[in-house]
Chain A
Amino acid sequence: MFNYIVRRLFQMLPLLFLASVAIFTLVSLQPGDPLDELRMANPMMTAEQFEDLRRAYGLDQPIYVRYFKWLGRALGGDLGRSRTYGLPAAEFIFQQRLPRTLMLTVTSLTIALLIAIPVGIFSAVRQYSAGDYTITFLSFVGLSTPNFFLGIILLYLFVIVLPENLGWRGLPVGGIPNLMWSDLQTGRVTFGSYVGQWATHLILPVFTLASGSLAAWTRFMRASMLEVLNQDYVRTARSKGLNERKVLYKHALRNGLIPIVTLVGLSMPSLFNGALITETIFSYPGMGRAIFDSLVNKDYNVAMAALTFIAILVVFFNLVADVLYAVVDPRIRYD
């Protein structure tokens, strides 16, 4: 097992190298460059001044030279500065944006799992009942609804329609509460109102982001449980007279949950794609929004820091999923 992990870690390196090459190339090949804005801001700029600026930004060099320069600095821990925010890209991404995105994604992942697992079990146990059909239908609807549409609908419902008709204050349109962690420490806000304000801001984006995974995992859980319930050992357990609860939760569920472990690990990429769209709709200042803005504004350092980080995360979670799979299922061995 240890050897397997080490081997996988070494296989990750060339993969990540190639991924960062590809990301860097594509990001730098985007039409327009950071200087366009400067030129527009100052139409009096002469050609020489413009060339000087190009040289100062290093944009006169070929892409692969720029890449290796970036790589050399990045390996030394320097990810450059954000052009639009004037901060070091690492500080901007990892200290400001990442915690917010993690809050969003981890919450929606947890909620999706907490709902999908019991609902999937119910659906499998009552196969072909009215409840099963309803759940299956709803999860199909969830899979077919683009999360940006769901987000717009939720905004409309919870910000306009329901408040207007119920005389309720409604949920915020988007963004995050104007609160700092230090406000809590100095006692400017109570803990309750701190949590409450975050909750009202998070509830719509979290639900928007969770909907896709929720639908997919419910279907997956149902299929996985159905497969286990048809196994011989479940029949054996039933025939020796165990009560149904024990059969379900001790024999079937433990094996039915195994594939879910992998699925959660592998759902990282789609979760980040979802976060990009969700954060754009709800103006939630997280990493997805930062990636989108950095691509539009040609803020290369931010885009590279965030996208490479996601690539590393995806590869890492693939490994974690494989390792966890072996941990929870002793039938699987790597050597």
Chain B
Amino acid sequence: MTKAPAVAAAGQHRSPAGSENVWRLAWRKLRRHRLAMVSLVVLSLLILMAVFAPVIAPYDPIAQPRGANLRAMYFQPPSATHWLGTDDLGRDVLSRLIYGSRVSLLVGFLAALSSVLVGTIMGATAGFFSGRPLRFFVGPFVRDLEADARTGRFLAWRIASWVLFYGALYLGARIAWTLSSPSVTAALGGGEWTNNAVLSAVGLAVAWIGVAVAAWRGLTARFRLDLDIVISRLIDFMLTLPSLPILLVLSAILRDPRAAVGNWMYATFGTASSVVIIIMILVLFGWITTARLVRAAFLSLREQEFTMAAQALGTSNGAIMFKHLVPNAMAPIIVEGTLQVGIAILVEAALSFLGFGIQPPVSTWGNMLTNAQTYIFYAPWLALPPGFLIVITVLAINFLGDGLRDALDPRRQH
């Protein structure tokens, strides 16, 4: 925890003098980190290449050649006209590589940014409200003085929570009903036990009595919900799932134009939909590390004096979280965000490599490698350039992250 922004955040968090010094100090430290500076230059060059792709690329990355002698145009080894050769459809590898950097970098940066954003919000919520359960459900027949005193927003939430609660009960009752139907009971095993109509009737009765009791109690109940427990359990749950297969399946589901979701994606984002889909998918598992990090930082930050001072002044929870605490947790967030860019690029490349990411003819470094593997034995020039670009990009990002960690952590001396 740096001292300076903490002081700045206490009252005059906009004070430029206090916060600028910290960042300038970090920048000076970063400049001494040679590998990080080299990485910064490499990354800038890569970004420039992506931005100016139409200017730099010698050929159209998608157009296939036409002409009498097509055979000679496919699988050309590197030459003066095609510096990196041509691929299985006669397209220029260099141009595809340059255009591919657009998608790969865009996906990497946007996915990392969104992951860090989602992770920060989740982690901040979990850390700040840990051990301070929020009013979640107040039954319709509870006289809740505190809630009555407040206006609209709380009433709306109260009604929404009734809908959620009774909706869930309805769903449970319906599932119990469907499951107890004879054909299902028979299918559950077909043995004497499960085939027993009495047993299935008992099961149904128990389920419905449970629902009825919950519905009755719900009229006068109040629950509080600890958001930290909810978010931490969600993280535990996400970590249980086998991530790569889940990502493959999700990508297939979201991309299906016959289904409602896929259709909507195509209608809304057009050709960019596969980029949007892959970013959404990457964020699904990408926010977790940031959330854990921010949660841990918040657990200690919220006990410090400047937080109490802000609370005493009547600052709202949202303002305390995002104006006072988040700036103090910024150093680890920045480092994590940098590393996430590398992870996102790697995962995107893996998904595209397996054919579940960005779809051809749009090129990315990952899907260029899919073809490269097929033809590795007689066109090895297809595999090396996209692979090396992935390695160089991710390496630069990791070195930069390492440099930033040294620069932003006051305890580290390099």
Interface residues of A (CB under 8 A from B): 15-16, 18-19, 22-23, 26-27, 29-32, 58, 61-62, 64-65, 68-69, 72-73, 76, 140-141, 143-146, 148-149, 152-153, 155-156, 159-160, 269, 272-273, 276-277, 280-281, 291-292, 295, 303, 307, 310-311, 314-315, 318
Q: List 28 A-B contacts (CB under 8 A).
A: A15-B236, A15-B240, A16-B240, A29-B249, A31-B252, A68-B184, A141-B391, A141-B395, A143-B394, A143-B398, A144-B391, A144-B397, A145-B391, A148-B350, A149-B387, A152-B369, A152-B376, A152-B383, A155-B376, A269-B239, A269-B242, A272-B242, A272-B244, A273-B243, A291-B245, A295-B245, A295-B249, A307-B245
Which chain A residue has the least Cβ–Cβ distance from B250? A26
Inter-chain contacts of B354 with A (CB < 8 A): 277, 280, 292
Partner of A307, one of B179, B242, B255: B242
Which chain B residue has the least Cβ–Cβ distance from A159? B377
* Contact status A73-B189, CB under 8 Å: yes
The minimal Cβ–Cβ distance linking A124 to chain B, given in whole angstroms, is: 16
* Contact status A19-B390, CB under 8 Å: no
The minimal Cβ–Cβ distance linking A137 to chain B, given in whole angstroms, is: 8
The minimal Cβ–Cβ distance linking A256 to chain B, given in whole angstroms, is: 19
The minimal Cβ–Cβ distance linking A51 to chain B, given in whole angstroms, is: 16
Q: Complex: how many Å from CA A76 to CA B188?
A: 9
Inter-chain contacts of B256 with A (CB < 8 A): 31-32
Partner of A30, one of B239, B252, B346, B376: B252
* Contact status A69-B188, CB under 8 Å: yes
Q: Complex: how many Å from CA A58 to CA B387?
A: 45
* Contact status B188-A160, CB under 8 Å: no
Contact flag A144-B342 (CB < 8 Å), given A295-B245, A295-B248: yes
Which chain B residue has the least Cβ–Cβ distance from A161? B380
Contact flag A68-B346 (CB < 8 Å), given A26-B253, A76-B189: no
Inter-chain contacts of B245 with A (CB < 8 A): 276, 291-292, 295, 303, 307
Interface centre among A32, A73, A148, A303 (most CB of B within 10 A): A148
Asked whether B178 is an interface residue with its Cβ less than 8 Å from the other chain, the reply is yes
Contact flag A152-B179 (CB < 8 Å), given A19-B240, A31-B252, A291-B245: no
Q: Complex: how many Å from CA A23 to CA B253?
A: 13
Inter-chain contacts of B250 with A (CB < 8 A): 26
* Contact status B237-A62, CB under 8 Å: no
* Contact code string B379-411 (vs A, CB < 8 Å = 1, else 0): 010011001001100110111001000000000
Contact flag A315-B240 (CB < 8 Å), given A29-B253, A148-B350, A295-B245: yes
Which chain A residue has the least Cβ–Cβ distance from B262? A31
Inter-chain contacts of B346 with A (CB < 8 A): 144, 146
Partner of A153, one of B188, B189, B239, B387: B387
Asked whether B372 is an interface residue with its Cβ less than 8 Å from the other chain, the reply is yes
Q: Complex: how many Å from CA A291 to CA B376?
A: 25
The minimal Cβ–Cβ distance linking B176 to chain A, given in whole angstroms, is: 10
Inter-chain contacts of A145 with B (CB < 8 A): 390-391, 394
Q: Complex: how many Å from CA A273 to CA B244?
A: 6
The minimal Cβ–Cβ distance linking B326 to chain A, given in whole angstroms, is: 27
Partner of A23, one of B189, B246, B391: B246
Q: Complex: how many Å from CA A64 to CA B387?
A: 43
* Contact code string B93-123 (vs A, CB < 8 Å = 1, else 0): 0000000000000000000000000000000
* Contact code string B34-70 (vs A, CB < 8 Å = 1, else 0): 0000000000000000000000000000000000000
Q: Complex: how many Å from CA A141 to CA B396?
A: 10
Given contact pairs A72-B194, A160-B376, a sample of 14 additional A-B residue pairs in the complex whose CB atoms are under 8 Å apart: A22-B237, A23-B242, A23-B246, A29-B249, A32-B256, A144-B394, A148-B349, A149-B387, A152-B369, A153-B384, A273-B244, A292-B248, A295-B245, A295-B248
* Contact status A15-B189, CB under 8 Å: no
Asked whether B258 is an interface residue with its Cβ less than 8 Å from the other chain, the reply is yes
* Contact status B259-A314, CB under 8 Å: no
Inter-chain contacts of B184 with A (CB < 8 A): 61, 65, 68-69
Contact flag A64-B175 (CB < 8 Å), given A146-B390, A152-B387: yes
Contact flag A30-B241 (CB < 8 Å), given A73-B189, A76-B189, A156-B376: no
Partner of B398, one of A62, A69, A140, A156: A140
Q: Complex: how many Å from CA A32 to CA B349?
A: 25
Instruction: List the 9 closest A-B pairs by CB distance, nearest first.
Output: A31-B256, A149-B387, A144-B394, A72-B188, A273-B244, A144-B395, A310-B242, A19-B240, A26-B249
* Contact status A64-B242, CB under 8 Å: no
Inter-chain contacts of B397 with A (CB < 8 A): 144
Q: Complex: how many Å from CA A159 to CA B252?
A: 34
Inter-chain contacts of A307 with B (CB < 8 A): 242, 245
Asked whether B2 is an interface residue with its Cβ less than 8 Å from the other chain, the reply is no
Inter-chain contacts of B189 with A (CB < 8 A): 72-73, 76
* Contact status B369-A148, CB under 8 Å: yes
Contact flag A156-B383 (CB < 8 Å), given A15-B237, A27-B249, A146-B350: yes
Of residues 211 through 256 on chain B, the ones whose CB sits less than 8 Å from some CB of chain A are 236-237, 239-246, 248-250, 252-253, 255-256
* Contact status B383-A153, CB under 8 Å: yes
The minimal Cβ–Cβ distance linking A136 to chain B, given in whole angstroms, is: 9
Which chain A residue has the least Cβ–Cβ distance from B257? A31
The minimal Cβ–Cβ distance linking A281 to chain B, given in whole angstroms, is: 7
Asked whether B80 is an interface residue with its Cβ less than 8 Å from the other chain, the reply is no
Contact flag A65-B242 (CB < 8 Å), given A29-B253, A31-B259, A295-B249: no
* Contact status B391-A149, CB under 8 Å: yes
